[in-house]
Amino acid sequence: MVFIASISPKATELFGCPFLTNSMLFALVVALVIILFVQVSLRRVRLVPSGLQNFCEWLFESLYTMLEGVVGHHMIRRTFPLLCTFFVFIATANLSGLLPGVGTLGWGHGHGLFSVEVHDPVVRPANADLNMTLAMTAVFFFFWIYWTLREVGPIGFLKHLFAPKGLMGFKGKPVWLKALTLLLNIFLILIFLLVGGIEVISIASRAITLPLRLYGNIFAGENLLHAMGSMGGFMLNIVISVPFYIMEILVSVLQALVFTLLCAVYIQLSTAHEEGDSH
């Protein structure tokens, strides 16, 4: 029997397989839908686009222009496929997660159709599972490390983190001023070493905040819609839920944009060349 589900943060294993959960199944369906949509839209490419081709070109061109302004012209061709994939997949998965029955229908114990004692939802929103957001973050940081080391090199990255800027020279100064300059330079070196350590902590924290931000917003929205849909009768639930569904539609797209832009900003911060460096 099918019931309305109580929301659990844990995805349910399917067929007793720990490597296949209801959220993973939903993610695979979303990925398949995206692939089929793009294939159908671009099956017959015309010089003057229309219909689905026009929508795809508008979406990809808009994303390309926006992301180029963040990562820079020299990095956009390398990074756009991954960043575009993140946005399209996250936005599609989030919006699909708002469909009736996704995350709210399943099997369990209860006394009727509207029981809340459900332990096994049929499908879960992909990004309401922390494993999914962690996996996307792991993929991003793998490429982030590769792009950073390829662009600036290990020594260049260490210099970016710890090398002091603005050190003063000694040429043409009296002895007492050279001694003072040496002390100031030592002080600057210690300051930049401290700042570099803080930056390392900041980079490490990104691997935590990036997946948790997306997961927290989507899982919270799932719980909010469930709560708003359980406050009264059927018609009252619909009236109450409509404004929250509209809000969640905006949040779904916004969170996809935030995740993608944060990834782009992290790439720009680590691959930007200092003024005067060769590209």
Condensed to tens digits (0 to 9), the pLDDT of residues 54-94 reads 999 999 999 999 999 999 999 999 999 999 999 999 999 99
pTM for the full model? 0.83
Taking all residues of the chain, what is their mean pLDDT, rounded to a whole number? Answer: 82
131 burial level (CB within 10 Å; 0-12, 13-18, 19+): middle
Q: Phi first, then psi: what are they for 25, rounded to 5°?
A: -60, -40
Instruction: Please check the confidence at residue 223 and state whether its pLDDT lies above 70.
Output: yes
Alpha helices in the chain, H assignment, sequence order: 22-41, 51-71, 73-96, 130-162, 175-228, 234-271
Confidence of residue 238 (pLDDT cuts 50, 70, 90): confident
Q: How confident is the model at residue 184 (pLDDT cuts 50, 70, 90)?
A: confident
Going from N- to C-terminal start, the domains of the chain cover 3-271
Distance CA 137, CA 256 (A): 13
Residue 115 · residue 121 · CB < 8 Å = no
Q: How far apart are the C-alpha atoms of 213 and 225, rounded to whole Å?
A: 18
The residue with greater pLDDT, 233 or 204, is 204
The per-residue pLDDT for range 123-143, each reduced to its tens digit, is 788 898 898 999 999 999 999
